[in-house]
Amino acid sequence: MAGHSKWKNIAHRKGRQDAARGKIFTKLSKEIFVAAREGGGDPNANSRLRLAMNKAREHNMPNDNIERVIKKATGELEGVNYEEINYEGYGPGGVAIYVEVLTDSRNRAASDMRHIFSKYGGNLGELGCVNWMFDKKGVINIMKEENSIQEEELLLLALEGGADDMRSEEEYYEVITQPEVFEEVKATITAAGVKVSNSEVTMVPQNTITLTGDEAQKMLILIDKLEDNDDVQNVYSNFDISQEDLEKYQG
């Protein structure tokens, strides 16, 4: 499976930073709200809601909060309404950027996206200009130091559950699935006693562009500014950088 860039593993640390700033619960609540509004409040009959609830629990979001958001979405409680909007554009080095937004103000979101892209070295493009460069996939990461399972055994386990492929990186294994079988593959892996460090249904780039030096640093700043926006749910890109450049930025 080509293209799932290593920079995505920033998300693990970034998630903890967002939690410290109180942002992650807001993003999770919005995703739960839209999933319940569109597919109903029963997670057994609504896979998007089920995934959103599981992700919220992984981040220790209280069940009372989850239930309250679902009730607002289904009309049992009064609440705001969120609209889903996607923005597409380019960053330093011509890399593709795909942004998923959930907002209660379309005008504010559009203004914010134009401002962030232009101020931090990007270019906002037309709808459809880059989304064709990504495939929707389930991604399951297993840290090697946290598990004793061998690569061949894990691969057989993943394929048994219905996975498409598995990659071995220096610190982790990455299992790739179709979205429809993501939960089944994850359940098969965890049932064998394997600890999953991170899992999500995400947009995986078909190919990546490697950035170095100033371009890499500018790209990381642009991604951070986009992710820090309250209306932004997810940011996807097809860039990759070296561990050295990543450490300089985190420095």
pTM: 0.82
| Statement: residue 229 has pLDDT above 70 | yes
13 vs 222 pLDDT, higher one? 222
One fold for 83-132+207-250 and 134-205 = yes
Give tens-digit pLDDT for 32-77: 999 999 999 999 999 999 999 998 998 889 999 999 999 999 988 8
The stretch 209-235 carries a mean pLDDT of 92
Region of poorest pLDDT, from 3-7, 135-139, 174-178: 3-7
| Statement: residue 9 has pLDDT above 80 | no
Give tens-digit pLDDT for 114-131: 999 999 999 999 999 999
CATH number of 6-73: 1.10.10.200
For residue 10, what pLDDT band results from cuts at 50, 70 and 90?
A: very low
For residue 12, what pLDDT band results from cuts at 50, 70 and 90?
A: very low
Domain ranges, ordered by start, for the chain: 6-73, 83-132+207-250, 134-205
Please, are residues 232 and 99 in contact by the beta-carbon 8 Å criterion? yes
Domain 83-132+207-250: give its CATH superfamily.
YebC, transcriptional regulation domain (3.30.70.980)
| CATH fold of 134-205 | Alpha-Beta Plaits (3.30.70)
pLDDT of residue 22: 63
